[in-house]
Structure 1
Amino acid sequence: MIIPMELLSEYPVPDHALDVKQEAREFAEEHIAPNAADYYESGEYPHDILEAGMDAGLVAQDLGEAVGGKGYDLQQMLAIAEEFYKADAGIALTLQLASFGAEIVEEHGADWQHEEFLRPVAQNDQITGLAVSEPETGSDLAGMTTSAEKDGDEWVINGEKYWIGNAVEADWLTLYAKTGDDPNNRYGNYSMFIVPTDAPGYHAEHIPEKMGFRASKQGHIVLEDCRIPEENIVGVEGAGFYMLAEFFNHGRVVVAGHGVGLAAAAIEEAWDFVHNREAFGKTVDEFQAVQHKLADMHLAFQSARSLTWDAAERVANQENAGYWAALAKTEATEAATDCAEKGMQLHGGRSVLTENRISRVYRDVRIPVIYEGANDIQRNLIYRQAPQ
């Protein structure tokens, strides 16, 4: 009998995050893992699991107590991410996206915006999302073309957004749009807005089937003279780029947790398979080549996890946050792709069967290396922000 592996150990998780880590693990084992295969096959939105996550107090609780949340910090959110993504990435992303971007409104928005928009999300009466990427650009935050222009006491928004989580399901979105055209101030031409999804001129549809993360829904938004009240701007005009840069430092650490969880899933699946599969009169794990592959998977995983938790503390303390966030995001998501690739090799021909978990993990790991800034962009950030 093979003893189940314990890769997502309590160390190096700080003491204050251990309780929520355990809650997330128990929830993942009860609600996410048993339903992962079915939701992957159907590609449906997991409304029932999202509701269960809300009932368990594990959705949108990074929002503060002042608006009805629990105020979970970066390390607590990372602990949740590890456990959820090990169980299933698509369902995990649905749970995470329910409040994605609301943190920007909490940090920079007005008190009335907190009450009208954040409180319903923190209390799980509404869900939201963040609209940044566009059909022609994703990583170039200063190259977006969706525009917002003043017309009396309203903003009129025109353009398109793509790959937007909850574009169809959300009650409102935090949306990034161009409000200036100063060639000498490329990063000061953008602002953030709260856009209700029932606003006139807002149109959204689901993006067709994806190869991975199938239980998470992303959408294509078309904004045609979409009108919102003047006061729906978040913070001050022209500060949108800088708001996003700060937000993504935290977000990229959590995405590193996505990679850690997926890497753990790949290792556990491969470990179990090779210890229970026989070839040439012995179990597959007895071959040195197999042992070396598993050793390499552990090296990648443990290095990435250590870096991720180190980065979480540094980013939380605003210690060269952009550098550490980029390091963690890149290392952990690429460790996941490496572990999944080796896991596929160890499974042999059976790896290609969609009924096998390793094939789902293999497809899922191709996505976090792209979102929240593709890893080539992260390498640019690492080089530019490296300690001198």
Structure 2
Amino acid sequence: MDLLDEAMVPANAKTVKRRARTFARENIEPVAGAYFESGEYPIDIVEAAREEELVAQEISTEYGGAGRSLSEAVAAAEEFFRADAGIGLALMGQSFGTGILEQFGTPHQKETYLRSVAEGDAITGMAISEPETGSDLAGMETTAVRDGDEWVLNGEKYWIGNGVEADWILVYVRTEESDKPHDNHSMVIVPTDSDGYDAEHVPEKIGMHASKQSHITFTDCRVPHENLVGERGNGFRMVAEFFNHGRTRVAAQGIGLAAAAIEEAWEFVHEREEFGGPVSDFQSVRHDLAQMRTKFESARTLLWHTVERMESGEDAAKWSSMAKLHATETAAECAETAIRLHGGHGLFDESRIGRVYRDVRMPLIYEGVSEIQRDIIYENF
């Protein structure tokens, strides 16, 4: 059973998909349980993926990256997240936010910061969410005040990938007051060795233990004025556009997780015997599996349709939201059914389905909870 078959994957993405699948099977699957248990950052796997050009894939060749397309990134994400979501997120997070910098940054910023990530000399991240504010981009309170040739940052960010590990972070800040709430924010590059930058890992999460999220505090943190990315006050629009692509990648994460849940359920019910026969002989179990497969194929078809629309240049807001909504909710439903079919065997810490069941909760939340996606879909109906 090959749930992540190549049938709907564009020709240009098949090679990357095969490379990602081989890498996942050889380097991620054998150690996924150990990394989930230890919670260690998978630096050895990150370095191995870098050697295979599976890290920072989307940075253009002009700045040392592979210059891969959205379809290639999505194809790799499906494979990584089927193998393990925490390690998959760690791999994809190595270059989080570089898309904004490449689109809106100055030539000097791109040469300085993008190249270092593409060549493996730096890790980055992007800081948007705050302790009291998640999906409300217009409500973020971390400030950056101009003081001569510097920006002075004060505030907090929360749930930030690589906040401790990164060499620089792209930070979403309030730079002015305006009667238009979407004109208040900007993006600023902050090196993590700057005075006034402090980060610590958040308490252990329910899932994705191999990825690291952080709580960042800025206390009179000064960075050069030239670290402003794009136009002052245009941060909301930058992030909103970035999320169109980001949500599509999260949809791919959901598809990978759903595939893992279905695989585990299928294998278990065909090996397990109850009442004198295989569990798979029960009609209710067969119906559960049929429902899981149907929802999975529906969500994956929508994902790849969305990729096609986006790569053709169509406005992607509603499509990326539909893909993210359907894929992540399908993953959660498949994991719920799969762990129920496992009974008590699914409750052990070392079980793959137990990890999947916990991991699926996170993509439901980051880059906008389901309710936000439904709002976007309605507004762009």
Output the TM-score relative to the length of structure 1.
Answer: 0.97
1:170-193 C-alpha deviation (Å, 9 max, x unpaired): 0001110001111x2110110001
Could you say which residue in structure 2 is the equivalent of 1:345?
Answer: 340
1:81-138 C-alpha deviation (Å, 9 max, x unpaired): 0000000000000000000001110000000011110001011111100000000001
Could you say which residue in structure 2 is the equivalent of 1:296?
Answer: 291
Could you say which residue in structure 1 is the equivalent of 2:330?
Answer: 335
1:9-33 C-alpha deviation (Å, 9 max, x unpaired): 0010000000000000000001111
Give yes or no for the alignment of 1:175 onto 2:171: yes
Could you say which residue in structure 2 is the equivalent of 1:260?
Answer: 255
Rounded Cα–Cα distance in structure 2 between residues aligned with 1:161 and 1:318 = 33
**Percent sequence identity over matched residues?**
57
Rounded Cα–Cα distance in structure 2 between residues aligned with 1:265 and 1:52 = 23
- Could you tell me how far 1:244 is from its partner in structure 2? 0.4
Give yes or no for the alignment of 1:127 onto 2:123: yes
Rounded Cα–Cα distance in structure 1 between residues aligned with 2:350 and 2:195 = 43
Rounded Cα–Cα distance in structure 1 between residues aligned with 2:78 and 2:89 = 12
- Could you tell me how far 1:317 is from its partner in structure 2? 2.6
- Could you tell me how far 1:278 is from its partner in structure 2? 0.8
Could you say which residue in structure 2 is the equivalent of 1:219?
Answer: 214
Rounded Cα–Cα distance in structure 2 between residues aligned with 1:287 and 1:108 = 57
Could you say which residue in structure 2 is the equivalent of 1:30?
Answer: 26
Secondary structure (helix, strand or coil) at the match of 1:98 reads helix
- Could you tell me how far 1:319 is from its partner in structure 2? 1.7
* Aligned pairs (5 A) from 1:59-98: 59-98=55-94
Give yes or no for the alignment of 1:281 onto 2:276: yes
- Could you tell me how far 1:166 is from its partner in structure 2? 0.3
Match of 1:247 among 242, 251, 257: 242
- Could you tell me how far 1:316 is from its partner in structure 2? 2.4
Give yes or no for the alignment of 1:202 onto 2:232: no
Secondary structure (helix, strand or coil) at the match of 1:222 reads strand
Aligned length: 381
Rounded Cα–Cα distance in structure 1 between residues aligned with 2:212 and 2:351 = 22
Could you say which residue in structure 1 is the equivalent of 2:17?
Answer: 21
Q: Which runs of 5+ in 2 are unaligned?
A: none
- Could you tell me how far 1:313 is from its partner in structure 2? 1.3
Rounded Cα–Cα distance in structure 1 between residues aligned with 2:121 and 2:115 = 8
Output the TM-score relative to the length of structure 2.
Answer: 0.99
Rounded Cα–Cα distance in structure 1 between residues aligned with 2:162 and 2:139 = 23
Secondary structure (helix, strand or coil) at the match of 1:236 reads coil
Match of 2:367 among 372, 375, 383: 372
- Could you tell me how far 1:314 is from its partner in structure 2? 1.1
Rounded Cα–Cα distance in structure 1 between residues aligned with 2:302 and 2:332 = 17
Rounded Cα–Cα distance in structure 1 between residues aligned with 2:57 and 2:122 = 13
Could you say which residue in structure 2 is the equivalent of 1:323?
Answer: 318
* Aligned pairs (5 A) from 1:86-165: 86-165=82-161
Q: Which runs of 5+ in 1 are unaligned?
A: none
Secondary structure (helix, strand or coil) at the match of 1:251 reads helix
1:265-306 C-alpha deviation (Å, 9 max, x unpaired): 000001000111111111111111100000010011000000
CA RMSD of aligned residues (A): 0.6
